Amino acid sequence: MQKFISIVRLNPDGNRKEIFLDVFKFDEEELEMMLFFGMFNLNNNICLLEKQLNKMRMLGFENFIKEELVLLQKQYPSNRIIQFELFILDEEDDFVKSKLGGVSAFTNWDGKMCFTVFPEENVRKMLKSVITHEYHHHWRISALEINEANQTLLDRMILEGLAEHFIRLKLGEKYLGPFKDALSEIQAKNLWESHYIQHINDKGTSTDVFMFGNEEEGIPFWGGYALGYYLVKWYLDNNKDISIEELTVSPSYLFIE
């Protein structure tokens, strides 16, 4: 972040998008993903960005993320090195601040984690939860060599459901994200039968509607995330002694047999 800010200060009329892509070695698709997940607007006032960065440093969030990930990898080794980027949340992103506790994140197919965080102390608990969630993505993606091309809707749901159960096992239910509460268990069972079971092998962007929801299609907001949690729960109800290590490397179809 500091390098980006410094270059913009030295070249105020430069193309900020090109500067960002060069500094972070992102492609345009990755940049669009970061913006979708709430990263700061590239054209924001540079003094404001620097002020937010200084606050992020004061809070020690980068070291906090690194320390948490190191501890997780020590206990649950993956076959890839830990890589992550930390970005400032767009201060006007009220959705992430109100619905996601000020933290948004995703994990690339190479296992690299990207965090977008609002620089306030009261987001630390949510940040710990999200770090744990994203580490599980890193772990499962690495173990099963999952990639975008071969991922089905069922794979996406199980990936998200397992990550939330990993939080539950590691940190307790109070650290769970908001996704599970999008559906009751009865609603989840009905939705599985009425809308999802016939689409579990779908791939590509057509699966987005099933993950994020679509009112016109009768799919609740965060429906796929919530249903993924329940699919894992139902499997665990019948397999109480299975370890998180075994769950993490289990193929998705196992959870619906």
Give tens-digit pLDDT for 178-188. 888 899 999 99
Q: Read off the pTM.
A: 0.94
| DSSP 8-state secondary structure symbol assigned to residue 219 | B
Q: Is the pLDDT of residue 1 over 90?
A: no
Residues 197-213: b if buried by 16+ CB within 10 A, e if exposed: eeebebeeeebebbbeb
**Residue 172, phi-psi category: left (phi > 0), alpha (psi -120 to 50), beta (remainder):** left
Q: Is the pLDDT of residue 127 over 90?
A: yes
CA 137 to chain centre: 8
Share of the chain above pLDDT 90, in %: 86
CB 162 within 8 A of CB 249: no
**Domain boundaries along the sequence of the chain:** 2-144, 153-256
Instruction: Compute the distance between CA of residue 3 and CA of residue 23 in angstroms, rounded to an integer.
Output: 7
pLDDT at position 215 is 85
Angstrom CA distances, 18 to 6, 31, 39, 160, stand at 14, 11, 16, 33
* pLDDT band, residue 218 (cuts 50/70/90): confident
Q: Does residue 249 sit in helix, strand or coil?
A: coil
